[in-house]
Every structure is written in C-alpha cells, then in structure tokens.
C-alpha cells in the first residue's frame, strides 16, 4: 500500500484498529494467556486520555489489547501514523531517514527513529529460505561500507562481518546457501576457493566483467551494494555501526520483495503483531 491507499483504507483510527485485530486474530480474538476464545470487549481510555479498546478473557480475566505483546506495545502513536510510516519504508527503494518520516507523519525525530527501528525489526526474516537451489546461480561478494578500510531469481542477503577469513564466512555460507545451487560466482578472493565446491565455484574478474555481458559475473550483487550505498549517502547520511545490520535487514527485506508491493504492507503488519516488543532502552543500550 502507498500513502494514498493508506489514507483511503484507514480514514479513521477505528478502521486501522479493526484491520490490525483481523491480521492478528484471523479466526477471532483469543486470550493471550489461556487461549480462550470467549472474550469481552471493554471501552476505556488509554494513558493519553484517548478512547481505546480492551478485551477481557471470560475464563482467566486477563485484560489485553490488540497491541499487547507486539512491536506496537506501549506506543502512543495513532495506528494511522504507524501505517503511514510502514508504507513509506516499504516503498522507499533506497530507504528513508527518520528525519523524513518525522516530517511526513508529524512527530518528533526521537519518536520517528524508535518507530523506524521497530518496523525494521518486523522486516527481519526469522526463517529465511536458503539462497539458491537446483539449477540456480548464486553470486557472492564483499564490500566496504564507509569508514577506514580494515582487514577483515535474485535474492540478497547482506550482513556485516569482522573480516573475510574462512572461519567467519563458512558458517554464513552453511546457513544461507542452498546445497543444491548449480553455480556459485565470486571474485578472486582466496577464501572462497577453500570453502566452495570446485565443481560449482566460478571466479570472475571485476575488471574483465565490465567489458562483457557474459553470465559469469557478480554484477547483480554489486548492484545491490551500490543501491544500499546510495541510500546511505542520499537518505541516512550516517549510520551507527551498532545498527548497520538492522538497515541491511531492511534493505534485503525490501529488495527481495520488489514487485510485491500489493502484499508487502500486510506481510509487514503480520510481523509487527507477532514479534515481541522492543523497548527504547533495549534498542539504545543493548549494543554497548
């Protein structure tokens, strides 16, 4: 959904809340503690004084809301603003900064920054499908992102690594690469010759591939690197090293779903209501 669709579909906060409830409980609301299907609706007011809807379990008496225990938990932002931020992040090919989100939805920068990180959390694939497969070709490469250079069907997986030694790269390949992959293309970095099956492994030369349109190249993964870097330069300007992997996760989630815009919003919302809450203190302190 784009912003126009969001405004039309969720013209009121009640409409947004009805949609969220349906996404969280497609077969009807159930108690979060005992899974009882018999619950009562309670009309009350939240901390901000605005009307809100609660549910009370007829069996154990638990009071809960549609956002309890989710990434929406304890947020005072209207769901309409949440949905607008989700649409902006889902449609932004090169990413969108918290400052720009703050301007679009009318909130403070700190609020937008926290909001964007919770949406990025929803973009993490908890059980991703291995890259490659029978008859597929996989490209592997590495790049440096800012700072000082240290020793260290197209689907993308990007993550930070401390160096390019075999001990670091091996577990990533074992976890992310399908064993049935037909061809694995890398540059001439010597680590790959130790780790990859010589019958599948093909090495490309970056200088030579610029002069050829042949199949053996890493142009696709380099294009993904370039797209992310343009996002860093044009949208974010600066990334804290503590959160780089979150931004990479967001980029891969969106990159791997290009052409799926009609379903991206619903998928993002389902993840927001199934993943555990992320507190601001946890987000800002756990990495130090």
Q: What is the pLDDT of residues 105-131, one digit of tens each?
A: 999 999 999 999 999 999 988 788 888
pLDDT of residue 261: 78
- The arithmetic mean of pLDDT across residues 165-171, rounded, is 91
pLDDT of residue 207: 61
The answer for 61, left when phi > 0, alpha when psi is -120 to 50, beta otherwise, is left
pLDDT of residue 51: 63
Residue 39 neighbours by CB under 8 Å, 6+ apart: 29, 30, 31, 55, 56, 57, 58
Task: Output the pTM of the full model.
Answer: 0.72
Residue 266 has pLDDT above 60, yes or no: yes
Q: Which of 3-12, 129-138, 147-156, 276-285 has the highest mean pLDDT?
A: 3-12
Cα dist from 188 to 196, 204, 235, whole Å = 12, 7, 32
Residue 286 has pLDDT above 60, yes or no: no
Residue 148 has pLDDT above 50, yes or no: no
Confidence of residue 194 (pLDDT cuts 50, 70, 90): confident
Confidence of residue 64 (pLDDT cuts 50, 70, 90): very high
pLDDT of residue 288: 37
């Amino acid at each position: 959904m784009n912003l126009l669709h969001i405004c039309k579909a969720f013209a009121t906060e009640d409409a947004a809340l009805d949609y969220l409830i349906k996404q969280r409980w497609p077969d009807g609301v159930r108690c979060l503690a005992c899974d009882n299907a018999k619950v009562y609706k309670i009309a009350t007011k939240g901390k901000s004084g605005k009307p809100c809807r609660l549910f009370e379990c007829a069996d154990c008496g638990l009071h809960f809301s549609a956002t309890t225990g989710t990434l929406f938990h304890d947020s005072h932002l209207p769901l309409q603003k949440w949905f607008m931020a989700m649409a902006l992040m889902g449609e932004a090919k090169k990413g969108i900064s918290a400052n720009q989100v703050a301007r679009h939805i009318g909130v403070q920068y700190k609020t937008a920054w926290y909001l964007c990180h919770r949406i990025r959390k929803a973009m993490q694939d908890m059980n991703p499908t291995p890259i490659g497969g029978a008859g597929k070709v996989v490209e592997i490469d590495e790049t440096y992102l800012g700072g000082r250079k240290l020793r260290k069907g197209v689907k993308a997986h990007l993550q930070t690594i401390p160096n390019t030694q075999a001990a670091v790269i091996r577990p990533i390949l074992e976890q992310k690469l399908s064993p049935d992959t037909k061809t694995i293309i890398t540059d001439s970095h010597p680590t790959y010759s130790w780790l990859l099956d010589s019958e599948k492994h093909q090495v490309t030369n970056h200088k030579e591939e610029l002069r050829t349109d042949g199949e053996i190249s890493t142009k696709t993964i380099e294009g993904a690197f370039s797209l992310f870097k343009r996002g860093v330069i044009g949208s974010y300007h600066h990334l804290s090293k503590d959160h780089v992997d979150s931004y990479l996760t967001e980029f891969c989630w969106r990159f791997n779903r290009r052409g799926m815009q009609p379903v991206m919003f619903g998928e993002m919302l389902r993840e927001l209501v199934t993943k555990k809450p992320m507190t601001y203190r946890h987000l800002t302190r756990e990495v130090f």
